[in-house]
């Protein structure tokens, strides 16, 4: 369900072409504007529509200032990937801090709302993630087995508390399904933003609730 992003490792960029870190608040704001613009362009026109000159125009940044922070598109992709990585890791850490007794007392629908919907809501708010997961991006693709493993570990822990008789093999299979059902959406393209939001926030949770309820039968 989540992009395979490493929570402690910045997505790879070519040697000598790494983004320059801003030193002041104004610089951080400029970088944020550039990454916001990058996400918008990717969402509207895909990678083919992303050029450094268009990125400068879309972000209201001079081309010189853009190159000051990002020497090339590769470095922009790396920074955008890292921003999504950090956000998803924050969600994961919050889930890890929830006490076990909380998970035990939730209904299935409440569990999905607490455990999985935060990831789905983030994806719905950032449709550029769908393109960033495309294998055609090569080393610019979002990729982190470490983050995926962390999310899967949380799923297995929660499932074990709710299904104490399930074997370790069963738990691995169940958690894989919880990850795979949303992941399948990355291979389709909803026609409108409205249908995208409905799919992520209504239909996928509905499917996951049905699956989890069936496990308890």
SS3 at position 61: coil
**Rounded CA separation 105/118 (Å):** 19
Indicate the Cα dihedral angle 19, 3, 159, 176, nearest 10°.
Answer: -140
Report whether 200 contacts 124 (CB < 8 A): yes
Q: Kindly provide the b/e burial profile for residues 103-129, where b requires at least 16 CB atoms within 10 angstroms of the residue's own CB.
A: beebebeebbebbbbbbbebbbebbbb
Kindly report the number of other CB atoms within 10 A of residue 180's CB atom: 10
Provide the terminal-to-terminal Cα distance of the chain, rounded to the nearest Å: 25
Using one digit for the tens of pLDDT, what is the confidence trace for 121-133? 999 999 899 888 8
Per-residue pLDDT band at 102 (split at 50, 70, 90): very high
Provide the whole-model pTM: 0.83
**Backbone φ, ψ for residue 22 (5° rounding):** -65, 145
182 within 8 A of 133, measured Cβ to Cβ: no
Nearest to 61 by CA among 85, 93, 36: 36
Which pair of tokens denotes residue 209? 């609730």
Q: With residue 135 as reference, give the H or E element that holds it.
A: none
User: For 63-94, how does the pLDDT look when each residue is reduced to its tens digit (9 = 90+)?
Assistant: 999 999 999 999 999 999 999 999 999 999 99
Question: With pLDDT > 70 as the criterion, what percentage of the chain qualifies?
Answer: 84
Length of the chain: 217
Assigned token pair, 202: 């209504």
Contact predicate 88/119, CB 8 Å? yes
pLDDT digits (tens, 9 = 90+) for 142-187: 888 899 999 999 999 999 999 999 999 999 999 999 999 998 887 6
In the numeric block, which tokens belong to residue 18? 């790494």
| Cβ(38)–Cβ(55) below 8 Å | yes
CA distance linking residue 51 with residue 38, whole number of Å = 9
DSSP state of 189: -
């Amino acid at each position: 369900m989540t992009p395979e992003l490493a929570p402690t490792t910045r997505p790879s960029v070519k040697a000598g072409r790494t983004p320059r870190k801003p030193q002041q608040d104004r610089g951080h704001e400029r970088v944020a504007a550039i990454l916001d613009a990058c996400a918008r362009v990717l969402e509207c026109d895909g990678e083919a529509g992303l050029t450094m000159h268009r990125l400068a125009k879309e972000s209201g940044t001079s081309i010189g200032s853009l190159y000051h922070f990002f020497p090339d598109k590769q470095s922009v992709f790396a920074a955008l990937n890292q921003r999504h990585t950090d956000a998803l890791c924050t969600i994961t850490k919050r889930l890890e801090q929830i006490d076990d007794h909380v998970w035990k007392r939730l209904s299935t629908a409440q569990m999905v709302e607490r455990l999985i919907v935060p990831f789905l809501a983030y994806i719905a708010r950032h449709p550029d993630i769908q393109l960033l997961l495309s294998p055609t991006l090569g080393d610019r693709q979002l990729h982190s087995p470490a983050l995926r493993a962390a999310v899967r570990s949380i799923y297995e822990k929660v499932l074990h508390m709710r299904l104490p008789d399930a074997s370790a093999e069963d738990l691995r299979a169940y958690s894989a399904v919880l990850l795979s059902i949303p992941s399948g959406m990355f291979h389709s393209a909803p026609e409108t933003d409205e249908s995208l939001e409905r799919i992520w926030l209504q239909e996928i949770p509905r499917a996951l609730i049905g699956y989890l309820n069936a496990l308890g039968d």
